[in-house]
Chains A and B, each alone.
Chain A
Amino acid sequence: MLAVSWAPLFEPGFFSSEPVHVALTVGAISAVVSGVVGVFTVIRGQSFAGHALSDIGTAGGSASFLVGTSTLYGFVAFNVVAAGVMELIGIRKPRGRDLATGIVLGASLGLAALFLYEGTISSSTTGATVNVLFGSIFTLAPGIMNVIAVLGFVSVSLIAVLYRPLLLSSVSYEMAAARRVPVRLVGAGYLLALALAVSMSAVTIGAILSTALLIGPAAVALRVATRTGVAIAVAAVVGVVACWAGTLIAYDSTVWAGGNGWPVSFCIVVVIFVLYFTSGVVSRLRADPRPATTSDLGRFVEPVEAA
């Protein structure tokens, strides 16, 4: 009935299509998980790690493709190991940390090249490589839903349990350590949650969307929210909205764009960008609620990151 009045918006068959159902469900789950983890990712300045894990997982996916097991397990395994390595390297300053992430990523991509090469040699299915790299929200292996849900649940639960110490150590490592927070354990726990979140989203909706849903909605949320809880909620909602709207647009585009229509990933990314720029305008228009202060002239200056 809803479809009748919104007829121009929803091309026929949208709500009854099974692949669409799956896409909307999977997209929503990924969006919520990515939104929760993404807010902490942006706060901690680990966007590169979040993106790198989607590529690193791809190496794992290629490996398991080679071996014959489900890509998901290879993905998760590689991501967890990579997260562990990143934590062990243990660099805290952002520049050095991104460098270490890059090295791990470079090595993983090299491995991916190796596995893909072996894969094409052995089975000569080039289409599979595209799938591993880009995924497709409309073509998901059956029975994977349960594992995905579990991964997402574990990831979000981890964040929930670590919430306060993670927030505190993200504000100041030293403050947290002084309060006897096990900072390295908390950091490792966060990386594990990130690894799981990226795994479940990259395998279902592709590496591009994994990063897009991790960083985009969180960036939007942080522009408009002043509290962490609100930011997380906004990020989740923005992610779901972007997924659903993008899926809808992609579905509709099969009609007016010809051929296979526009890919879902592109549509979702476009929606995210629209929301990002809108939030930018909104945050600029919002009046500063504080009265002008005449005292407290000092402003902290950032210390250099000594190598």
Chain B
Amino acid sequence: MVSTGLPQVGDDSRAGVANPVLQVEDLSVSLGGRQVLDRVSFSVEAGGFCGLIGSNGAGKTTLIRAILGLTAPSRGRIVVTDGTRSRQNPQIGYVPQKIVLEADMPLRARDLVGLGLDGHRFGIPWPKTKRRIAVEEMLDAVGATRFADVRIGTLSGGEQQRIMIAQALICRPKLLLLDEPLANLDIRSAAGVVELLARIAAEQRIAVLLSAHDMNPLLPVMDRVVYLADGRAVSGTTDQVVRTDILSRLYGHHVEVIHVEGRVLVVSGSEHQAHHPNDTDTFLRGP
């Protein structure tokens, strides 16, 4: 691994971005003795659309969890808006990676969105007009009214994704975090989700940060990218970051950035050390 300093691309942590909703400064996280994130810095402004790009094992999920406050950093800090966060006013809407839903789950789409509003409160939900209206509005905003009364377990991938986004947005967060939302969607559904998110970011002035291992679906709408490799990050605009010289320095070995018909390919000179677990291996580890 190369020990050169991180390629400097725009000084994001302070002056580069006006109105930062999310500021990550010099964040390092180590888990179980392993350095998972190493001095990551970037910020996202209100209404900004930021892609967190990296292959599996690069640290995307850890970063997201650190932002959510579920993982304690060993160094650095994370500031979300003005720092005031509470259970009632989370400021961050979170869409986790794929959730497994059985077909018999007795929740309609609108019920799940409603849980986004008050699912953290104890007790039984009491039907209130205000709640119902808020849910209706949110369903409409994500284009889910059509299947609002369908059981969530029978929704298609794209439909489920919209509902998850709705439940994350219903508390009017300033920041929307999505963990690999496009991973298992077909191209059409993925494009639809990206378009929806971009619209939400622009209209509601909500900062969107989503992780992906393929940046191509995001190219039309992404205005910032945070590129993660082995826990180290480079951030800036797409043009600034996705370049052969910058990414090669980040990875520590030569990678080639190829533009083909409006799409970007990052090709490694040598075999990139991504984690590709042997499937049988994974399964034979003890519980």
Contact = CB atoms under 8 A, between A and B. Distances in A.
Contacts of A165: 119-122
Contacts of B149: 226, 289
B106 A178 contact: no
B99 A168 contact: no
Nearest to B167: A175
Given A160-B124, A163-B124, A171 B106 contact: no
Given A164-B124, A222-B106, A295 B188 contact: yes
Interface string B170-205: 000000000000001110111010000000000000
A179 interface: yes
Nearest to A163: B124
Contact of B190 (A172, A298, A300): A298
Interface string A32-69: 00000001001101000000000000000000000000
A91 B287 CA distance: 8
Contacts of B98: 300-301, 303
A83 B30 CA distance: 33
Nearest to A234: B106
A3 interface: no
A160 B122 CA distance: 8
Most buried by B among A95, A99, A229: A229
Given A289-B150, A298-B157, A160 B123 contact: yes
B239 interface: no
Contacts of A230: 106
Interface in A79-108: 91, 93, 95-96, 99-100
A307 B189 contact: no
B108 A227 contact: yes
Interface residues of B, number: 56
Interface in A275-306: 289-291, 293, 295-304, 306
Interface of A: 39, 42-43, 45, 91, 93, 95-96, 99-100, 160-165, 167-168, 171-172, 174-181, 221-223, 225-231, 289-291, 293, 295-304, 306-307
9 contacts: A160-B123, A171-B115, A179-B120, A298-B158, A298-B188, A300-B98, A301-B98, A303-B100, A306-B283
Interface of B: 68, 70, 87, 90, 92, 94, 96-102, 104-108, 111-112, 115, 118-125, 146-147, 149-152, 156-160, 167, 184-186, 188-190, 192, 277, 279, 282-287
Q: Which 7 pairs between the two chains have the least Cβ-Cβ distance? A: A96-B287, A298-B157, A168-B119, A296-B158, A307-B285, A298-B189, A298-B185
